Amino acid sequence: MASSLPRGPRQIAKALVWSAKGLQAGWRYESSFRLEGYLFIIFAPLGLWLGHGGVEKAILVGSLLLVLSAELLNSAVEAVVDKVSPEFHELAGRAKDMGSAAVFLLMLNVMLCWGLILWQRL
């Protein structure tokens, strides 16, 4: 039976450090993440300004955060696939394509959320 590690302030601090390292790696090595980060910097304040009430603001900004999260996961999948299988393999290509598709679907979600909320303003 596996024992669970205690979760206290020290472990939470370590997790925050690892998360910061992941964000730094995403920013440093992934141009798509940087582009989406710049778009987040522009659109998140706009979403907070345009949203009427907490739910709309959460949907407008949250949809953007989902894209950034998926981009980091996609980059992680690509890094692991490249490490394990540097030569082309159909399954490796499929894994990378599926990660990319996940980011694409969340970008469509951003357009849907923003479009539906802003459509009400017209």
Q: Which residues contribute to the annotated binding site?
A: 30, 71, 78, 87-89, 96-97, 100, 114-119
Is 52 part of any domain?
A: yes
| Alpha carbon distance 85, 92 (integer Å) | 7
Question: What pTM, to 2 d.p., does this model score?
Answer: 0.88
Mean per-residue pLDDT for 73-89?
A: 92
CB neighbours of residue 33 within 10 Å: 22
pLDDT > 90 in the chain, percent: 85
For Cα atoms 56, 62, 66, give the angle at the middle one, nearest 5 degrees. Answer: 150
Is residue 22 domain-resident? Answer: no
Binding residues for a divalent metal cation are: 30, 78
Number of domains in the chain: 1
Instruction: Report the CATH number at residue 40.
Output: 1.10.287.3610
> What's the rounded Cα separation, in Å, for the pair 105 and 70?
10
- CB contact at 8 A, 93 and 101: no
Active site residue 56: no
28-59 pLDDT, tens per residue?
999 999 999 999 999 999 999 999 999 999 99
Domain span holding position 86 = 27-119
